[in-house]
Structure 1
Amino acid sequence: MLDDIDRRLLRRMQDDPGRAVPELAEHAGINVRQAMRRLDRLREAGIIRGVRGVIDWRALGWEVAVSLRFTLDKTDPRAFDAFIAAAREVPEVIEIQTFLGRVDVRLNVIARDMADYQRIYRDRIVTLPHIADIEALMHVATVKAEEWLPV
């Protein structure tokens, strides 16, 4: 599916997504037109989904991160969708993941400090619909957070 040239392009893009196409082409050993065609093909195949800026929320004053695990009361067949829709509306929720097993949903929540977290928890989190149980895990440190793939 991927040849060595595609892999060189992808590795260089992962190292620095802001690189210009001529620089990517030079690194891959091809001309700019070939690089553009290959990048377009990788986008069309869904391998390259986009280029984005990653903002360090701590640098903007968000000091607290909490992972909340929810078990939902699934007696209502719409419980899952209603919970997800409501959770999407909470601005401090930066990630929503769903699971099979004892835990149904995990929300990553950020806050400016503990007082702010308590306010968010009381006013926005515990009011989410269909909650049967909540487990909170306070984030202490990120040991590894890598999106780079070994292509």
Structure 2
Amino acid sequence: MGCSGSKTKNRAAEEHLNSKTNTFLNLVNDQKSPVACELFQAWTHFVETQNRKLAGAKVPDCPGVSNPTEVWATTENNLLTHHSVDQVGKAFLEYVKNDLSQRGWGGNFDYKVVGVATQGFLRASANIDTGYPERSEVIWAVKIHYHSSGPG
């Protein structure tokens, strides 16, 4: 009896986590959020590089490891609000938590949104333990600038 109850609880928790992850992927794939797309691209590149290292390949550090990557999201014709960028950051936080968990990696993640009247940036960073033997922890960071229509 206890097992079926815990399976139901686990399934509900998994579905909740997947819906949070899907929120970010929806921002990337369906809504084509420029900030979400830049975040996804930077994170995917980091993960692919770490996976190659774990497989034994000699790969130089990718941008964003040790030195933050800085990019501009293409938003001139589609001005964003700081609030909408904050929502992207929150969705990305959930996506990264799920991604780290699925890979068996550990770590912590943080983001902040800073903005003035016409522009702002989202800075995301993570300290990640990938299990790679030569490093106990890898630091990843990206700073994405965007044009803004205000606080929103």
Question: TM-score by structure 2 length?
Answer: 0.25
Larger Rg computed on CA atoms = 1
Q: Which has the higher helix share?
A: 2
Q: Which has the higher strand share?
A: 2
